Amino acid sequence: MKKQLFLIVFLTLTSVLNAQNFSPAYFGPNANPVWEFTDATIPPKTTITLAEDFFFGFGDRTISTKPTIEVPLLPECVSLKVWVTLLEYFELTEEVAKKRSIVGKDLSGFANGDFYVQTRIRIFKEKEKMPSVILNSTLKTASGTNQDQGRYFDTPGYYFDAELGKSIHTKSKLVSEIRGVANIGFLCWETVYTQNDAPMFGGKIILSNKHIDFENALSGYSGWMGNGGSDPLIYRSKLSLKTSRLNYHLMYQYGIRDFPYHHIQGGISIELQKLTPRYNF
């Protein structure tokens, strides 16, 4: 009797997992997003950022908080970066819940996200005819909750990517620097019985002066499973205000393909010399 009961429970759980499509188009916006890449530099000081995210449209409204810390182990050469999504609140329409094969009747609630741990290494320093090259290695935990409500994958993942950046300096006060950044990499995330592998790609242009950075980016990744939702492509526009102590930013992101969200983010960051490791060579 116990064996039969175990078999029934196992088959029920298996059928539920199989019904869920482990791709970003069928989960919450923080489950497997198109991650933002940097300007292909490593900061000289420890940087702490706190951002608030608002996702809306297409039947899924999500509000979440994302703290990030980047610690330069060797300033401008090697850093450790950690971020996590906290305090996510979500509301789904019945139509979206049905499309995502959501289990249960709770179409709103709270969830906690995954931790990301990233190591960043500068391979080449930017020179007159040479772009800077940063290699990133990132691990995603399986700590996200509410898989049955389609919020997070209860599986680990990882990605490797390289950022290449080159600047052109001008004599204009309005736009004193024009920087181009390219991003290429490889992403892997676990599904129920196998893994989905995806090449990553992206590019951005940053217009800067002493007080403002204005960047526009196009990026995404393309999974091999062809399950109708694992090829997200997004457009992102971000305006940053730089002051002597704090930096502020406002970002808008639109999902062009397989990422059905409008996304607005507001954030603040600070550089802290006291939390920056010191080395005596």
**What pLDDT, on the 0 to 100 scale, is given for residue 190?**
86
**What pLDDT, on the 0 to 100 scale, is given for residue 17?**
43
Fold of the domain spanning 2-275:
Porin (2.40.160)
**What pLDDT, on the 0 to 100 scale, is given for residue 2?**
47
- Least Cα distance to 151 among 51, 251, 30 occurs for 30
**What pLDDT, on the 0 to 100 scale, is given for residue 8?**
37
pLDDT average per 10 residues of sequence, the chain (281 residues) = 42 43 89 95 96 96 98 95 95 92 83 96 95 98 90 92 97 96 95 85 97 98 82 97 95 96 98 86 56
Q: What are the sequence ranges of the domains in the chain?
A: 2-275
**What pLDDT, on the 0 to 100 scale, is given for residue 281?**
56
